[in-house]
Amino acid sequence: MRLRKRLLVLLAALLVGGQAMVASADGATTVNVTPDMPATGGDNCYPFGLGGLEDGNTWTPYLGFVYKDVPAFQLKTGDKLAFDLVAMNDVDVQLKIELVPTTGNGGDTPSPPFTTVVTNTQTPTNPRGDTTLENYELGFTAEAPFNFSGGGLIIRFSDPSASYLTDTGMGSCDGVLGGADSADPSGFFVERYYGDTDGVTPYDHFDVGSLAGFRLTLADVPPPAQPAGPAGQPPAKKKKCKKHKKKHHSAESAKKKCKKKR
């Protein structure tokens, strides 16, 4: 009976891990930190619909999404970080994106240093999003590596580009993000902070709703190539030298015989 319970627990863990991290046939690994119950209608503009600076309805200078139970990953330069929009913005999204682990899984305190993986000069794929749910079309390319051991993670946004800052004015907070809240059954979502002056705890404003799921597409690193033998043949296998205990009267003579065979 105990064995059966252990097997059931193991199976459940494998299923959860399989949903979060999936290997594809094209040699890439996909990490899905996505909601089980995503919002179907755009309800928030932070940080992909900017918001009106004039009326104070903005997330700048810093906004962060806080996650927990994120599987370990190794983000390399050229890998993809993508978000899902459910409505289109009217200006291309360009901003700075940083990653940092938290000091504890489920907590909201960053464990510096922050790693800048996207700068505000990069134009992502589908830079204004689309209306398709859960296709993770707003895709950024990593400009620096980031190794994550798993657990709590913060994605921090700041420094909108000059062109993105033109998405302002009264009532210009475009509700493009469906998002999720901390009660989502996936268990990934903790909170968000916004309008924060320095991007670290204690945060000026925070709540537990309108958090963005994300998807990582990581190119697998091929194993190191083995040196080829003559004329492109596979490398020759080294033959083990057998000890001939019966034919040699000492260990020293056996070693000399071994060297002659090589």
Task: Report pLDDT for 43.
Answer: 74
Average per-residue pLDDT for the chain: 82
Residue 74 or 16, more confident = 74
Please give the pLDDT value at position 99: 98
Does 243 reside within a domain?
no
Determine, yes or no, domain membership for 125. Answer: yes
* C-beta of residue 135 within 8 angstroms of C-beta of residue 213: no
Of 49-58, 116-125, 243-252, least confident by mean pLDDT is: 243-252
Residue 201 lies in a domain: yes
Out of 59-73, 134-148, 228-242, 245-259, pick the least confident. Answer: 245-259
Question: What percentage of the chain exceeds 70 in pLDDT?
Answer: 72
Residue 62 counted as domain residue: yes
Is 150 part of a structural domain of the chain? yes
**Helix-, strand-, coil-residue percentages of the chain, each rounded to 5:** 15, 30, 60
For residue 52, name the pLDDT band (cuts at 50, 70, 90).
low
What percentage of residues in the chain have a pLDDT greater than 90? 61
Give the pLDDT of residue 86: 93
- 94-142 per-position pLDDT tens digit: 999 999 999 999 999 999 999 999 999 999 999 999 999 999 999 999 9
Residue 98 lies in a domain: yes
Task: Measure the CA angle with vertex 43, ends 38 and 49; round to 5°.
Answer: 110
SS3 58: coil
- State residue 73 phi and psi, 5-degree precision: -155, 165
* CA 258/CA 243 separation, integer angstroms: 8
The per-residue pLDDT for range 189-236, each reduced to its tens digit, is: 999 999 999 999 999 999 999 999 999 999 986 666 666 555 555 555
Per-residue pLDDT for 184 more than 70? yes
- How many domains does the chain divide into? 1
> 117 and 75 in contact (C-beta within 8 Å)?
yes
Structure-block tokens of residue 139: 């895709």
Q: Helices in 102-141 by DSSP H: which ranges?
A: none
Q: Which domain holds residue 40?
A: 20-219
* Averaged pLDDT, 52-62: 76
Residue 226 lies in a domain: no
Task: Give me the phi and psi of 40, to 5 degrees please.
Answer: -90, -15
**Residue 26 within a domain:** yes
